[in-house]
Copies of this chain bind each other. A is one copy, B any other.
Amino acid sequence: MFTRDVKSILGELTASRTERKIFMVLDDHTLQYCWPVIRGFREVPEDHLYVFQPGESRKNLNNVAEIWERFGALGIDRRSLVINLGGGIVSDLGGFAASTLKRGIPFVHVPTTLLAMVDAAIGGKTGINFRGLKNEVGVIRLPERVVIDPVFLKTLPANELLSGYAEILKAALIANAGLWKRIAPNSLPAPEDPEWEPLIRESVRIKHLIVKTDPDETGLRKALNFGHTVGHALESELIKSGQPIPHGFAIAFGMVIEARLSVMTSGLPARQAEDIEMVVRRIFGPMPELFNHPERLIPWMRFDKKNQGDRIHFAFLPRIGAVEVHHSLKEAEILKGFQQKIS
């Protein structure tokens, strides 16, 4: 749900049930910048706050076990509620810990990054990294509620806003040509801009719709993967080489390549692919140099857990505002997508 008063909403959500113990998962950042915004919605004992250091590497089994340990010892039960206050790392970690403790404690996500508001917190994916692989372990389980308040956008560095914006562009590209037309010419709204509300609402609506049709990712949900096959590979290779870029940047650049592949495979008009590339370059800057060495990305694509067997799967656009799943390409075909001049 969308709100302009997250504190009252959380108060209402928990007030009528006095027996319901509240537990929170948050990181050092959200403890400092976001917790003050909601503090006092209800009395929450300090040891009911599980706070961990920010960073993707903390989304690990050790921290999950710590949450099980702490919340279990404090007497959490199935009528309790876990509130995950933070970005995607918090909702993934806290959601996984809650989903598996006592076979499932209800939880609520309060996303504090744009990316979490439009993507990570929506659709029930939870998980941790394991064996060096992202989200290698996890479950799909819907939160009891997702409470989205744009007040938290003010707490974000610019890079974080951009990162979430890539998912909004994706939502428009796969499902709403009108939205694309409206946002394509513009630059990023400022954090306080009321324009965020319709953008977030529409992105969430699109994701909900797709997830509802296919909660377990056997078909249509793969549509959400547009830009992600190449994007994840780019992200992983850059992490490995010690030059990480924000997730959303990787997805945005991934969408450019996958739009080119859509021209070859799904009949996306070439001008629309160029339009996508232009918008991405304007907002996210020049394409990564690594795209000149696509052979370094292929192994990562093969690892994607959405793949089955040996083929590499994609979601492609037949036109802006529509999407097709169940495409798979051979490596040679994929490499062609990179062959246009990168500048």
Contacts and interface: CB of A to CB of B under 8 A. Distances in A.
Interface stretch (A41-49, A135-143, A171-179): A135-143
Interface in A132-165: 133, 135-141
Nearest to A125: B103
Contacts of A102: 136-138, 305
A115 to B, nearest CB: 19
Contacts of A125: 103
A130 B61 contact: no
User: Secondary structure at chain A's binding surface: helix, strand, loop or mixed?
Assistant: loop
A219 interface: no
B100 A137 contact: yes
Nearest to A73: B131
Contact of A139 (B99, B131, B135, B305): B99
A236 to B, nearest CB: 15
Given A101-B137, A136-B68, A139-B100, A19 B131 contact: no
B139 A103 contact: yes
Give the number of copies in the complex: 2
Interface residues of A, number: 36
Contacts of A237: none
A254 interface: no
Contacts of A243: none
Interface string A56-91: 000001000100110011000111000000000000
A193 B78 CA distance: 42
A137 B68 CA distance: 8
Interface string A82-119: 00000000000000000111111000000000000000
23 contacts: A61-B61, A61-B65, A68-B131, A68-B137, A69-B130, A72-B130, A72-B136, A73-B131, A77-B305, A78-B305, A79-B308, A100-B137, A101-B136, A101-B137, A102-B138, A102-B305, A103-B125, A103-B127, A103-B140, A103-B217, A104-B139, A139-B139, A139-B141
Given A79-B308, A139-B139, 5 more contacts: A19-B308, A19-B309, A68-B137, A100-B139, A103-B305
Interface of A: 19, 61, 65, 68-69, 72-73, 77-79, 99-104, 125, 127, 130-131, 133, 135-141, 216-217, 305-310
